[in-house]
């Protein structure tokens, strides 16, 4: 509850709000604002998005993440199932892995997360807000293609990238978005955009 208290102070149109929290008979609870049952993950199960819809959803997700980063909060588990869609509004939710950054960089230790959306440095338990930029790049690529940018060689979900090559873009991938995705997906956080803005 202490960690979530920081989120409860944020009221942003692209974040799932926390309406109330407390403890009843020793059990902590949260009451979240209703963001709808539709998620980007469910929407992508029907196929890739058109460029306009993908960019609208992506931009709103970025605005929500930026609101977190402005308060030194990092999500660390961005993925399509954590982006809720209601009408034309996208909201980022599920703050289960989020951390408050107190010194700019921090060591992470966690038992969950979704490997194909995780920045490579998270596998080394060392990450900052730029890990969210990596995840956003994966989400944008998947929104437009219906698949993850990098596939694991052994059929598992963990992708260990050996080099910094960009993903294999389909021929119809929007030309102006290729450099955006490529930069978000750089192995070294220093080579990515340094902030969501």
Residues 152, 186: Cα–Cα separation, whole Å: 17
The pair of three-digit structure tokens given for residue 81, joined into one six-digit string: 């199932």
Determine the distance from the C-alpha atom of residue 30 to the mean position of all C-alpha atoms in its chain, rounded to a whole number: 21
Other Cβ atoms closer than 10 A to 123: 14
Which burial class, exposed, middle or buried, applies to 143 when counting CB atoms under 10 A from its CB (0-12, 13-18, 19+)? buried
Active site amino acids:
77
Query: b/e string for 168-187 if b means 16 or more Cβ within 10 A?
Result: ebeeebeeebeebbbebbbb
């Amino acid at each position: 509850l202490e960690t979530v208290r920081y989120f409860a102070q944020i009221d942003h149109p692209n974040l799932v709000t926390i309406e109330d929290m407390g403890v009843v008979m020793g059990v902590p609870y949260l009451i979240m604002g209703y963001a709808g049952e539709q998620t980007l993950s469910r929407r992508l199960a029907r196929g890739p998005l058109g460029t306009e819809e993908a960019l609208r959803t992506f931009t709103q997700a970025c605005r929500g993440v930026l609101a977190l980063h402005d308060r030194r909060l990092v999500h660390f588990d961005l993925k399509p199932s954590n982006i809720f869609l209601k009408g034309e509004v996208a909201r980022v939710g599920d703050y289960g892995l989020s951390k408050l950054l107190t010194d700019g960089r921090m060591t992470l230790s966690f038992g969950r997360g979704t490997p194909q959306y995780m920045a490579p440095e998270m596998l080394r338990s060392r990450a900052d807000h730029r890990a969210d930029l990596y995840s956003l790049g994966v989400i944008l690529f998947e929104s437009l293609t219906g698949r993850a940018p990098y596939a694991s060689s052994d059929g598992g979900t963990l992708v260990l990238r050996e080099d910094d090559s960009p993903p294999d873009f389909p021929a119809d991938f929007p030309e102006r978005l290729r450099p955006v995705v490529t930069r978000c997906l750089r192995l070294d956080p220093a080579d990515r955009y340094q902030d969501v803005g």
